[in-house]
Amino acid sequence: MNDNASAGDGFAAAARPIATQSVIHTDTEGLAAGLASLTVDGQAVPVYHARPAGQDKLPVVIVVSEIFGLHEHIADVARRFAKRGYLALAPDLFVRQGDPSTIPDITTLMARIVRKVPDAQVMGDIDACVAWAGRNGGDVDRLGINGFCWGGRMTWLYAAHNPRVKAAVAWYGKLVAAPNPPGQPHHPIDVAPALTVPVLGLYGAKDTGIPLATVEKMTAALGQGTSDSAIVVYPDAGHAFNADYRPTYNAKAARDGFARALAWLREHGVV
């Protein structure tokens, strides 16, 4: 299956209002990569997957997208993990609500799709990805999750939902929100004290959408619990600093963040 086919089709359109040319391109040499379709409660859910070719019993990492959904940048991140020995899966978690690539601006995208996605639906779709991984060469006893922006929030929530996760990495996911949209009853700060899964949070001090005060509140909430969680704040980075197809990209913070993510998963037994 062509790994660049459907996963990348929506990339240009979804990113067009804010995009620059992608800085990083990860090839498929030595990888098996493509799209699978999972059926979850009667719904076909596309999942991009990448792994070292010819290998099984691989550590598993779920890659959760930002609001633009499953496009080429997210597929590229999956390939980056695959190059380091993972079975990486990136599901299309907006498939029921709509196609982000058809919406020209972020405000409309949030209103028409993102705020209509129930958290329980996302948890179920990721559960299905984990089950698929277990049937297709993955060792789900070595399970990690990594998410960006909207996916960063979902990463915190999934770590609370599934205690089988060994470790998680949440990049600039919103930590608090008020009022809560329908179907989104909890936010990371609500689940922080009860977390058992170690989560690494990666945030930018110049992120105007996630004030440092909320990051400090999250750090305090994590301190009330027992998980080996931590938050790193990059002083010169804003929101979406890992998105190498956007003007927000901060190469130094992105490189350090990915190195920390790999180390975090390794230190907590995913690899």
List, by residue number, the catalytic residues: 149, 207, 239
Residues in the chain, how many?
Answer: 271
From 68, 63, 77, select the one nearest 19 (Cα to Cα). Answer: 68
Quick check: 125 and 93 in contact, CB under 8 A? yes
190: tokens are: 């609500």
Collapsed DSSP state (helix, strand, coil) of residue 140: strand
DSSP per-residue string spanning 202-263: EEETT-TTS-HHHHHHHHHHHHTS-S--EEEEETT--TTTT-TTSTT--HHHHHHHHHHHHH
Quick check: 6 and 35 in contact, CB under 8 A? yes
- The C-alpha atoms of residue 84 and residue 185 are separated, in whole angstroms, by 36
In the sheet that holds 230-234, the strands lie side by side as: 31-40, 43-52, 87-91, 58-64, 138-148, 167-171, 199-204, 230-234
Run of H or E residues at 50: strand 43-52
Quick check: 219 and 249 in contact, CB under 8 A? no
